[in-house]
Amino acid sequence: MGEIVSEAEDVTVMDMEASIEHLSRGTVRHVDALLVVTEPYYRALETARRTAPLARGLGVNNIFAVANKLRSAEDERAVRDFCRHHGLEIITAIPFDQNVTQADLRGQSLIDFKPDAPLVAEVMRLAATLRERMLNHGSSADKFLSKPNC
């Protein structure tokens, strides 16, 4: 996978399983940014905590946390406090949305199933924020995330 990322002229988005195994293989060595998706649960937060320093050790400079599946203000506060304590910048907070399950049951992406879902809007904001950040940091990706496939 490293060859795919290092040779890409456009944007390559890889969704990897929630573990640090891909970091030990150096898969993320050539990325412009790493989104560490975490949820308001101990194991997810601990995985995020272990991921960031490993990615930094591989030379990844832009590491952002995505707080995902937040069901309450308490969930969001817990993730924000944890990330702040461990030096992880949260780039967005994604609310839990039952529409994701419904779309999946129908074999559709969320953006096709319910394009006006709040989660779709938040992912669009994430894409715009990430694009702006990467362009400001001299990323090689000049067409960064024009329309995410939720």
Instruction: List the domains of the chain with CATH numbers.
Output: 2-136 (3.40.50.300)
Mean pLDDT by runs of 10 across the 150 residues of the chain is: 51 65 69 89 92 86 93 97 95 94 96 94 91 74 44
Spell out the residues 6+ positions from residue 80 whose beta carbon is closer than 8 angstroms to its own.
Answer: 67, 90, 93
Distances (CA, A) of 101 to 66, 71, 86, 106, 145: 19, 15, 31, 9, 24
What would you report as the CA-atom Rg of the chain, rounded to the nearest whole angstrom?
15
Supply the pLDDT for residue 13.
66
Supply the pLDDT for residue 143.
Answer: 43
What local confidence, expressed as pLDDT, does residue 142 receive? 43
